């Protein structure tokens, strides 16, 4: 049941992201039927459908530019309806507990509440605002913000995300960094819908601009997130941290008061590899998101920093948009001691080919081919890039020529 509901939510998210409101409302209708006749959302569902049909009729007969503005506004309202109904459906199915408050003096209670509550109250948000700026409640603030961020991945909340955005300027650097990381990940995850929530956009932009960030704290946190996707697996973490006693004092206290065990197995459970998969997926789409555009707007140096970090950590999608930067990164990687892969040589060869150095490009392609067990393994790496090579000005005939010369290698 839970898996079916998750799949339906993803379908609704995609539909609304493309402003296909009618398709989304069909699924919402099935949710309302399950909640029963006395659910409080019938009027909102009917009103959105009516307004959508009116807008469609107006579009057929008019070229009014305001139609798009109204459609965006209506899409945002549809998202809010989806969030409310989805939360109630989770409660009705027993997938989320119906919670009412928490013990402020117990980090375990704080963590449990913010991790599971799908109906945050105004007083919860107010408590969180105070906690992130209270030196005496650092552990509770860390528990609350990290748990809330995880919760928001499943159940979107405007107030919840705005509370985390406010936490980005917390006086405690650990709390602030955690809020920054959480906000960045959530904005990337919800990129499709953020366009329809101007209050979230404005809050984030205003906060970033108010930070007077000479040290590029937000960018540094983002780069740390990018690097962590290739450096934090279960096995790696178990090797690096043998016990909780090796963690910073504040994290030791956090784990201890949360009831997490003392051995490294407990740490592996706390940092599962599935989290790394989630993180890696977000970093892969980062350059195409709204938050990336905000952070790099009119700032080539920031874009360079992020691009370099992405390329260094295996996100080669940036190669096609920034081949000159990519060439520097891949050349440096090949010069350093350590294991090189066929993909490393192919990446560098692509960059050389873009700027017309065909001889050096071929030598690197040949090096990659020699490292592969057979020609099939090489082509499995090379051929998916054909389209991108052609799109960036390499004649298709040259691509075929390279493949032909390497066939017998």
Backbone phi and psi for residue 133, each to the nearest 5 degrees, phi listed first: -115, 20
Tokens of 237: 């973490």
Tokens of 172: 């405690």
Tokens of 245: 């006693």
At residue 330, the pLDDT reads 92
Using CA atoms, how far apart are residues 223 and 207, in angstroms rounded to an integer? 19
Largest CA distance in the chain: 73
Q: pLDDT tens digits for the chain (409 residues)? A: 455 888 999 999 999 999 999 999 999 999 999 999 889 999 999 999 999 999 999 888 887 778 889 999 999 999 999 999 999 999 999 989 999 899 988 888 998 999 999 999 999 999 999 999 998 888 889 889 989 999 999 999 999 999 999 999 998 888 998 999 999 999 999 998 998 999 999 999 999 988 866 668 899 899 888 887 775 444 444 444 455 455 555 555 555 555 555 554 444 444 456 677 888 899 999 999 999 999 998 788 888 899 999 998 888 888 888 888 999 999 998 998 878 899 999 999 999 999 889 999 999 999 999 999 888 899 999 999 999 999 888 999 988 998 888 876 5
pTM: 0.83
Check the CA dihedral 24-30-33-35 and report its sign.
Answer: negative
Residue matched to tokens 């700032």:
299
Residue matched to tokens 């209050």:
199
Beta carbons of 292 and 309 less than 8 angstroms apart: no
Query: What would the pLDDT profile of 274-302 be if each residue is shown by its tens digit?
Result: 677 888 899 999 999 999 999 998 788 88
Nearest to 330, CA basis, from 343, 317, 222, 338:
343
Using CA atoms, how far apart are residues 124 and 88, in angstroms rounded to an integer? 19
At residue 278, the pLDDT reads 85
Query: What would the pLDDT profile of 202-224 be if each residue is shown by its tens digit?
Result: 999 999 988 866 668 899 899 88
Beta carbons of 176 and 168 less than 8 angstroms apart: yes
């Amino acid at each position: 049941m839970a898996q079916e509901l998750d799949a339906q939510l993803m379908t609704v998210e995609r539909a609304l992201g493309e402003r296909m409101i009618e398709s989304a409302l069909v699924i919402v209708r099935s949710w309302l039927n399950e909640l029963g006749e006395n659910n409080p959302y019938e009027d909102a569902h009917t009103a959105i459908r009516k307004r959508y049909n009116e807008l469609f009729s107006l579009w057929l007969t008019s070229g009014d530019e305001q139609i798009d503005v109204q459609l965006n506004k209506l899409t945002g309202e549809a998202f809010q309806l989806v969030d409310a109904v989805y939360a109630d459906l989770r409660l009705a199915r027993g997938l989320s507990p119906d919670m009412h408050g928490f013990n402020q003096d117990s980090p375990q209670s704080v963590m449990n509440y913010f991790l599971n509550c799908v109906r945050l109250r105004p007083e919860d948000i107010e408590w969180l605002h105070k906690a992130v700026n209270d030196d005496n409640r650092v552990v509770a603030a860390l528990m609350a913000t990290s748990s809330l961020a995880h919760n928001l991945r499943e159940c979107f909340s405007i107030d919840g995300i705005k509370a985390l955005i406010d936490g980005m300027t917390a006086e405690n650097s650990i709390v602030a960094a955690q809020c920054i990381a959480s906000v960045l990940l959530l904005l990337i995850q919800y990129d499709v819908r953020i366009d329809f929530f101007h209050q979230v956009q404005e809050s984030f932009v205003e906060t970033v601009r108010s930070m007077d960030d000479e040290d590029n704290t937000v960018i540094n946190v983002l780069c740390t997130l990018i690097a962590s996707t290739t450096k934090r697996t279960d096995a790696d973490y178990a090797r690096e941290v043998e016990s909780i006693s090796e963690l910073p004092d504040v994290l030791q206290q956090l784990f201890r008061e949360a009831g997490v065990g003392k051995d490294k197995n407990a740490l592996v459970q706390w940092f599962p590899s599935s989290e790394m998969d989630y993180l890696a997926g977000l970093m892969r789409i980062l350059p195409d998101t709204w938050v990336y555009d905000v952070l790099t707007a009119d700032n080539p140096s920031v874009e360079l920093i992020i691009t370099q970090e992405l390329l260094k950590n295996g996100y080669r999608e940036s190669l096609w948009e920034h081949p000159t930067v990519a060439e520097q990164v891949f050349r440096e990687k090949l010069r350093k001691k350590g294991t090189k892969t066929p993909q490393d040589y192919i990446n560098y060869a692509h960059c050389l080919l873009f700027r017309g150095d065909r001889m050096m490009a071929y030598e690197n392609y040949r090096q990659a081919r020699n490292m592969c067990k057979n020609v099939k393994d090489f082509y499995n790496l090379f051929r998916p890039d054909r389209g991108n090579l052609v799109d960036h000005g390499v004649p298709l005939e040259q691509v075929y020529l390279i493949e032909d010369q390497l066939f017998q290698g």
